[in-house]
């Protein structure tokens, strides 16, 4: 790839708008689309979402678990989904939340961030809760191959607070430490660093200074979880332009109509454009 992920993401958001649509083929959505909870349904679902959106939204985010539950055949569908989405111009963030140590972390990185892998994606979600330093193999490979990472920092699920808001010996929360280390990885990079954070759009008490990481902020919670695009400036402040709001169910429920999916995605693009203008 000719440019780092951060630069490519900045261009994609400027050209296509600040929106990430999740590809989450869970059983209830497959049923709502009139599809079976099987490989045929999975294939039709993912192909339809890619056909509808990959040439017009900035980011598509397949949730690996919903493919992995079908075993090797499901992973094969995921491989095709990633390849087709990237070929159509979308940036693909693989939502796999990998996190481990040493050679295992290196292997996870190779699975998603090595150009020779059939699951090669533009970015990967990772968990830093074995220590941010344990992510070094993924950080190094992402930088080498022009990819990005999104580390879990301040998630919107209530269970996350017990870990993410715990205060360490240096007097700052675990989440603040993760954000500071992402900022260090992005220091001096223009127009946008490649190492981002996952920060819930439903949160009400985020310190604006912590979010100034010079990198993208993947923001789940818009739509079904209760946040709106109008909340983006309130939650993220001066970093709002670097936010990638992630919407899944409130777009996907408009399938299997290709036009329905496109119209729903465009509404969110327009809403965030108005909110962040």
Q: Tell me the CA distances in angstroms from 256 to 89, 93, 99, 142, 195, one per residue in order.
A: 21, 22, 34, 34, 34
Instruction: Give the mean pLDDT of 121-135.
Output: 97
Model pLDDT, residue 225: 76
- Pairwise CA distance, residues 220 & 203, whole Å: 10
HSE toward the beta carbon, residue 153, CA cutoff 13 A: 31
Give the tens place of pLDDT for each residue, 24-35.
999 999 999 999
Q: What DSSP state is assigned to residue 239? A: G
Q: What pLDDT is stored for residue 171 in this prediction?
A: 92
Do the beta carbons of residue 33 and residue 252 sit within 8 Å? no
pLDDT of residue 95: 98
Mode of pairing for the β-strands spanning 123-126 and 217-220? unpaired
pLDDT at 224: 72
Task: Summarize pLDDT for 50-93 with one digit per residue, the tens.
Answer: 999 999 999 999 999 999 999 999 999 999 999 999 999 999 99
**Residue 257: partners with Cβ closer than 8 Å, 6 or more residues away:** none
Q: What is the DSSP string of 116-137?
A: TSTT--SEEEE--TT-GGGGHH
- Please give the structure tokens belonging to residue 104: 């295992």
**Mean per-residue pLDDT for 264-274?**
97
Query: What is the CATH architecture of 5-276?
Result: Alpha-Beta Barrel (3.20)
For the stretch 36-48, pLDDT in tens is 999 999 999 999 9
Residue 66 has what pLDDT? 98
Distance separating alpha carbons of residues 199 and 189, to the nearest angstrom: 21
Q: Please report, in angstroms and rounded to a whole number, the separation of the first and last CA atoms in the chain.
A: 30
What does DSSP assign to residue 35? -
Q: What is the pTM of this model?
A: 0.97
The C-alpha torsion from 118 through 121 and 125 to 131, rounded to 10°, is: 70
Q: E strands of 6-107, at which residues?
A: 20-23, 59-62, 91-98
- Whether 253 is a known active-site residue: answer no
Mean pLDDT of the chain, nearest integer: 96
- So what's the pLDDT on residue 223? 77
Cβ–Cβ contacts within 10 Å for residue 48, how many? Answer: 19
Domain locations in the chain?
Answer: 5-276
Whether residue 1 is predicted with pLDDT greater than 70 in this model: the reply is: no
> Among the options 61, 97, 136, 144, which is catalytic?
97
Judge contact between 216 and 222, C-beta under 8 A. Answer: no
Q: How confident is the model at residue 226 (pLDDT cuts 50, 70, 90)?
A: confident
Evaluate the omega torsion of the peptide bond into residue 80 and state whether it is cis, within 30 degrees of 0: no
């Amino acid at each position: 790839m000719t440019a780092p992920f951060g630069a490519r993401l900045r261009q994609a958001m400027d050209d296509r708008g600040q929106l990430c649509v999740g590809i989450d083929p869970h059983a209830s959505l497959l049923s709502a689309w009139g599809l079976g909870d099987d490989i045929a349904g999975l294939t039709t679902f993912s192909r339809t979402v890619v056909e509808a959106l990959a040439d017009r939204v900035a980011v598509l985010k397949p949730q690996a678990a919903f493919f992995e539950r079908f075993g090797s055949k499901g992973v094969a569908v995921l491989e095709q989904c990633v390849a087709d989405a990237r070929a159509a111009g979308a940036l693909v963030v693989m939502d796999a939340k990998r996190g481990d140590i040493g050679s295992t972390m290196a292997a996870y990185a190779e699975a998603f961030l090595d150009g020779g892998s059939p699951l090669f994606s533009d970015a990967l979600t990772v968990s830093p809760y074995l220590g941010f330093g344990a992510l070094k193999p993924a950080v190094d490979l992402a930088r080498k191959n022009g990819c990005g990472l999104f580390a879990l920092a301040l998630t919107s699920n209530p269970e996350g607070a017990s870990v993410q808001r715990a205060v360490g010996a240096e007097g700052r929360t675990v989440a603040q430490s993760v954000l500071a280390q992402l900022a260090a990885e992005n220091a001096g990079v223009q127009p946008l660093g490649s190492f981002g954070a996952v920060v819930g759009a439903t949160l009400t008490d985020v310190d604006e200074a912590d979010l100034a990481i010079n990198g993208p902020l993947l923001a789940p919670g818009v739509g079904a979880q209760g946040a709106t695009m109008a909340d983006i400036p309130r939650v993220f402040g001066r970093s709002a332009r670097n936010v990638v709001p992630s919407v899944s169910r409130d777009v996907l429920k408009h399938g299997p109509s290709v036009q329905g999916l496109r119209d729903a995605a465009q509404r969110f693009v327009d809403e965030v454009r108005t909110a962040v203008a």
